[in-house]
Amino acid sequence: MYKGKEIDWEDDPIKQMQDNMNELRRQNKEAYEAGELVGRVIEIPYADGYAYYQIIRENKRTLRVRVCLNVGDDWSVPFIGGEGSIDKNLIDKVFRLMAPGK
């Protein structure tokens, strides 16, 4: 699962955030290619950007998700917070999975 490296604000923070996002994208693509939801990333439009959540567990009707930090503005949405559950049926209806080639 994604564990973004802490940002050292005195040593090129933009590159560090890009490196973290590249790792998140790699994990998303790997899960997609394996046909798994666990490891996929959900992008939720929020404020002036996106909140990124990684699926960390799949249950029969729900998905457990955790916010991904150190990839930009680090938004989280109030109805999920740092970690929470969402209904599986909302994927591709309300929530968008990150494209595997993005």
This prediction's pTM: 0.92
Tokens standing for 3?
Answer: 């564990």
Kindly provide the residue ranges of all beta strands, DSSP E only, lying in the chain, ordered along the sequence. 41-46, 49-58, 62-67, 83-87, 96-97
User: For residue 102, what pLDDT is reported?
Assistant: 64
pLDDT one-digit tens code per residue, 22-81 = 999 999 999 999 999 999 999 999 999 999 999 999 999 999 999 999 998 899 999 999
The confidence score (pLDDT) of residue 43 equals: 94
Looking up tokens 């992008």, which residue turns up? Answer: 43
